[in-house]
Structure 1
Amino acid sequence: MKSLTFGLFLIIMTVQASFAQNLTVDEEIIKLSKDKWTWMSDKNIKVLDQLFHEKSVFVHMGGSWGKQQEINVIKSGNIWYKKADIHDVSVKVIDNTAILLNRIDLLAVVGGNEVTNPFMVTEVYIKQDGSWKLGSLSFTKLMGPGGK
């Protein structure tokens, strides 16, 4: 009976440890995403250059492009991501890939005009050499009141 109890205890501890590790990764990705919005708002090109994977892709309402064009867009102010109000966040981790979904209201300056749009933003992060890199950032405009 003692060995059965000990065995069950070990199984429960293993499951809890596994669950705790997933929460830690989820929390790490959520924090990285929130930091990314701040860095984009602050036009912190140096940090974003390190975060964005060399082969990353960015999908906007007006088109899609790679890392260097996104860096140039942020640097030039063609799109200024002033403030992202985050309403919902979810993370799914598959091996070394994390997929984060954000429902946000984005206050931005685009072509000199200040606009607010509700978006579902998909962010894909890939873990390489011990650090997370942004592989894809896609904006999907939501329709209806409050973007629902």
Structure 2
Amino acid sequence: MKTSIIGLFFIIMSITSAKAQTSTPTKTEQEIIKLSKTKWDWMADKNVDSLSVLFDEKAVFVHMGGSWGKAREIAVIKSGGIHYKKADIHAVAVNIIGNTAILLNNITLLAVVGGNEVSNPFIVTEVYVKQGSGWKMGSLSFTKINQPAQ
């Protein structure tokens, strides 16, 4: 009997998990996904004016080579120190917690770093905080993965 109840519990949890993974994103989740995509376009275009508005003053950026704040990230993008040429987004997930949105992107990033063109698979974590009627980016963090992004 105990085994049957445990088995039933796992079946119900599996169905619930599968349903959650295939559900349609909410309006807020769609808004964050669109904002993230627009941010990748701005980064590719080196549109530092729009990025300066999006990035919160206290935002942090974590890269393979270090971490820094908003001013340095804007300077790196403007100078071409890192040119985010193209982010191929393979999967995206958003979790909303109160006024905070956490977006995970599974991407392949084509970039120019130190004059060399490189392509790397990453899981990118983006944290957005609702401020007034808009969203501000609080964090952008790259985690390199060993297998190609899917």
TM-score in terms of structure 2 length: 0.83
Query: Could you tell me which residue of structure 1 aligns to residue 66 of structure 2?
Result: 63
Q: 1:32-72 CA deviation, whole Å, 9 max, x = no partner?
A: 00000000000001000000000000000000000000000
5+ residue gaps, structure 1, are: 1-18
Query: Could you tell me which residue of structure 1 aligns to residue 50 of structure 2?
Result: 47
1:99 equivalent to 2:102? Answer yes
Figure out how many residues of one structure are paired with residues of the other and give that number. Answer: 128
TM-score in terms of structure 1 length: 0.84
The Cα shift of 1:130 comes to: 1.3
5+ residue gaps, structure 2, are: 1-22
Distance 2:124 2:68 in 1: 16
Amino acid in structure 1 at the alignment position of 2:31: E
Distance 2:64 2:124 in 1: 12
1:23 equivalent to 2:26? Answer yes
C-alpha RMSD of the superposition: 1.4
Residue identity over aligned pairs, in percent, reads: 66
The Cα shift of 1:147 comes to: 3.9
Query: Could you tell me which residue of structure 2 aligns to residue 33 of structure 1?
Result: 36
Runs of 4 or more, structure 1, over 6 Å off, are: none
